[in-house]
Amino acid sequence: MAEVWDLHLKNKSPRAIAGALGCKMVDASRAIEQMQAIVRDDLESRDAAKDYLNDMVKRYEFLMAEAQSNLEDLQALTFDEKVSAQINATLKNIADFDAKRVDALQKAGLYDQGGLGDELAEREEREQQIIQILRNDLCPMCAAVVRDKLTKLTGIVEGEVVAEHVV
């Protein structure tokens, strides 16, 4: 199990781990899941992982800021083929740093798409509730003004459209 975990931490796939250790892929996957559960339940390990993740994010942000500074310096130079190649390489570095940071955060479960979907659904529900309040619970004069603004915002005609009022 320790060998499986060691290879997993070296970013090896369950298939590669199974091949390297001469075991079944399902066994390697099961061992990884068991170790992940152990680490998840171990508060000290979890805190250490959070600290490491925070440090890693800070390092990527530093590297991206340095690359951005380098890019600004390059853009101030007289443009030629060499400068163009350096600018392209710097842009690629920035994109790579960002992709690696996002990948690490996704693997840590911080970009859980299910959670984002739930959050988006909740936000849409709140927006609909707010629109219902604006449609139904305002005085007639305010309702007319709000109705015009909702029509402009949503593109859906909200009852009778009235010209903008100056109060």
Is 167 within a domain? no
Same domain for 20 and 36, yes or no, is: yes
Is 65 within a domain? yes
Same domain for 58 and 100, yes or no, is: yes
**What integer pLDDT is reported at residue 115 of this predicted model?**
55
Predicted model pTM: 0.45
Contact in structure between 1 and 35 (CB atoms under 8 Å) = yes
Summarize the confidence of residues 31-58 as an average pLDDT.
Answer: 81
Inform me whether the pLDDT recorded for 114 exceeds 70.
no
**What integer pLDDT is reported at residue 161 of this predicted model?**
46
- End-to-end CA distance of the chain, in Å? 73
Summarize the confidence of residues 134-143 as an average pLDDT.
Answer: 73
**What integer pLDDT is reported at residue 116 of this predicted model?**
56
The two structure tokens encoding residue 144: 């007319």
Same domain for 94 and 133, yes or no, is: no
